[in-house]
């Protein structure tokens, strides 16, 4: 069911699987976009408002971060996508010349307490009380104004728990919304990904997968996980759905960011993920290391003159000790949040790179087991 736009986008957006681990479904690949090549598996840091909180883009450039995610809903509210378009697009506006993925705003609508989901779209009030209708057409218009490399189709993120009737009604509407997104998609330099919903029901996941894949889109995502269903059900959904997704297109699981969960989705052939966990935790003083999370405010780190994690190559680890970063947090110095954020993003990038290396050498299972043996939750 290819359309003229889906054919044209193939000139600008490509994906290839470089290697599949022979013992698992884990795979290493490359996503080729107009703003650069993204090696996979990849974890995408979230820059909700067109910026990674507490971090300059130069830090991300120096660590060679391959892609960032920004948020359609929030950029629509401020400063407005028309203004960003006049500024030359989001890449120029935020001084970032590498790939950007924008989500559709669907998850943010899901997060609102007061909203109305109807055929036209999702209606809600912004923080000033102004009534807003976010529809498939407006979501695509905003994302095309922003100029992201990868756009997400507007869908309903189904809450957990959801009964079968609600789920069926929702996915049927999501398929109609997807067709409206495709009709509103005009720029072949921007790839549009479809989203597979279906809550916890295998048959509805199958139905949604079949319908979405018919559209022959550049990539596909598993949505509706990490919405309160717990890690066991998340794993069940991913294990069931991911291997059935097209092998020649990028696979994306939305909103997953715990290291243990990343290991699971990568093992099942997923290429992309995003989450606010590393940056949000950093600002609160929780740092990720290959030996587990540390809470840097704890008194144990007052005389700890070691780097956060010597296995992570970044400015924070090259120059500062745990004792110094604890001092910064204790003193309410903004630099503490800056260094912690840089470190956590670098940790996630290093983790993905090590996973890719293990996949290429057919030892992903060993890598996963070794990681989990050394990594402990506190």
Tokens coding 177: 């919304």
- 103, 149, 155, 271: the catalytic one is 103
The mean pLDDT value for 327-340 works out to: 98
CA pair distance 225, 231, nearest whole angstrom: 9
Percent of the chain with pLDDT over 90: 93
CB 290 within 8 A of CB 374: yes
377 — pLDDT class (breaks 50, 70, 90): low
pLDDT in tens, 297-313: 999 999 999 999 999 99
CA pair distance 15, 225, nearest whole angstrom: 24
pLDDT in tens, 255-284: 999 999 999 999 999 999 999 999 999 999
Q: What are the residues facing 123 on neighbouring strands? A: 116, 133
Tokens coding 338: 């800056």
Find all residues with CB under 8 Å of 178, minimum gap 6, and list them: 136, 153, 155, 194, 195, 211, 212, 215
Residue 307 CB neighbours (<10 A): 20
Domains of the chain with CATH codes:
4-281 (3.20.20.105)
The mean pLDDT value for 68-93 works out to: 97
The answer to whether residue 114 scores a pLDDT higher than 90 is no
126 — pLDDT class (breaks 50, 70, 90): confident
Predicted pLDDT at 258 = 97
The answer to whether residue 10 scores a pLDDT higher than 80 is yes
Residue 305 CB neighbours (<10 A): 10
Closest CA to 116 of 100, 133, 129: 133
The mean pLDDT value for 164-191 works out to: 98
Residues found in the chain: 378
41: preceding bond cis by omega (within 30 degrees): yes
- Read off φ and ψ for residue 140, nearest 5 degrees: -70, -35
The answer to whether residue 113 scores a pLDDT higher than 80 is no
- 21, 149, 261, 274: the catalytic one is 274
109 — pLDDT class (breaks 50, 70, 90): confident
CA pair distance 2, 285, nearest whole angstrom: 48
Give residue 203's Cα distance to chain centre: 25
Find all residues with CB under 8 Å of 224, minimum gap 6, and list them: 157, 158, 160, 197, 198, 199, 237
- Is 103 assigned a catalytic role? yes
The mean pLDDT value for 75-86 works out to: 97
φ/ψ bin of 46: left (φ > 0), alpha (ψ from -120 to 50), beta (otherwise): beta
Tokens coding 279: 């940056």
pLDDT in tens, 21-57: 999 999 999 999 999 999 999 999 999 999 999 999 9
SS (H, E, C) the chain: CCCHHHHHHHHCCEEEEEEECCCCCCEEEEEEECCEEEEECEEECECCCCCCCCCCHHHHHHCCCCCEEEEHHHHHHCCCHHHHHHCCCHHHHCCCCCCEEEECCHHHHHHCCCEEEECCEEEEECCCCCEEEECHHHHHHHHHHHCCCEEECCCCCCCCCCCHHHHHHHHHHHHHHHHHHHHCCCCCCCEEEEEECCCCCHHHHHHHHHHHHCCCCCEEEECCCCCCCCHHHHHHHHHHHHHHCCCCCCEEECCCCCHHHHHHHHHCCCCEEECCHHHHHHHCCEEEECCEEEECCCHHHCCCCCCCCCCCCCHHHHHCCHHHHHHHHHCCCHHHHHHHHHHHHHHHHHHHHHHHHHHHCCCHHHHHHHHHHHCCCC
Predicted pLDDT at 5 = 94
| 176, burial (CB in 10 Å: exposed 0-12, middle 13-18, buried 19+) | exposed
The answer to whether residue 378 scores a pLDDT higher than 60 is no
Predicted pLDDT at 252 = 98
């Amino acid at each position: 069911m290819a359309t003229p736009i889906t054919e044209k986008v193939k000139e600008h957006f490509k994906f290839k699987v470089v290697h599949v681990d022979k013992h698992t479904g884990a795979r290493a690949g490359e996503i080729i976009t107009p703003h650069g090549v993204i090696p996979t598996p990849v974890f995408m840091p979230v820059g909700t408002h067109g910026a990674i909180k507490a971090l300059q883009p130069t830090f991300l450039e120096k660590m060679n971060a391959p892609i960032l995610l920004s948020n359609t809903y929030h950029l629509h509210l401020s400063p407005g996508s028309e203004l960003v378009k006049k500024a030359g697009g989001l890449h120029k506006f935020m001084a970032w010349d590498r790939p950007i993925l924008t989500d559709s705003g669907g998850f943010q609508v899901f997060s609102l307490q007061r909203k109305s989901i109807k055929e036209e779209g999702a209606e809600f009030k912004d923080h000033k009380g102004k009534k807003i209708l976010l529809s498939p057409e407006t979501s695509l218009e905003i994302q095309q104004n922003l100029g992201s490399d990868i756009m997400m189709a507007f869908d309903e993120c189904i809450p957990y728990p959801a009964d079968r009737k609600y789920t069926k009604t929702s996915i049927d509407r999501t398929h109609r919304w997807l067709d409206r997104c495709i009709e509103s998609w005009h720029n072949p330099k921007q790839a549009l990904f479809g989203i597979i919903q279906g809550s916890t029901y295998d048959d509805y996941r199958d139905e949604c997968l079949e319908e979405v894949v018919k559209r022959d889109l550049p990539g596909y995502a598993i949505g509706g996980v990490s919405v309160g269903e717990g890690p066991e059900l998340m794993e069940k959904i991913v294990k069931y759905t991911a291997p059935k997704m097209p092998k020649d297109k990028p696979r994306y699981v939305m909103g997953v960011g715990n290291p243990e969960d990343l290991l699971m989705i990568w093992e099942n052939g997923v290429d992309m993920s995003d989450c606010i966990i590393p940056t949000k935790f950093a600002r609160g003083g929780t740092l990720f290391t290959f030996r587990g999370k540390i809470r840097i405010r704890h008194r144990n780190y007052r005389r700890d003159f070691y780097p956060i994690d010597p296995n992570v190559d970044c400015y924070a680890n090259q120059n500062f000790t745990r004792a110094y970063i604890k001092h910064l947090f204790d003193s309410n110095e903004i630099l503490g949040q800056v260094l912690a954020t840089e470190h956590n993003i670098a940790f996630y990038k290093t983790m993905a790179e090590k996973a890719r290396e293990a996949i290429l050498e057919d030892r992903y299972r060993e890598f996963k087991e070794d990681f989990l043996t050394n990594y402990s939750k506190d």
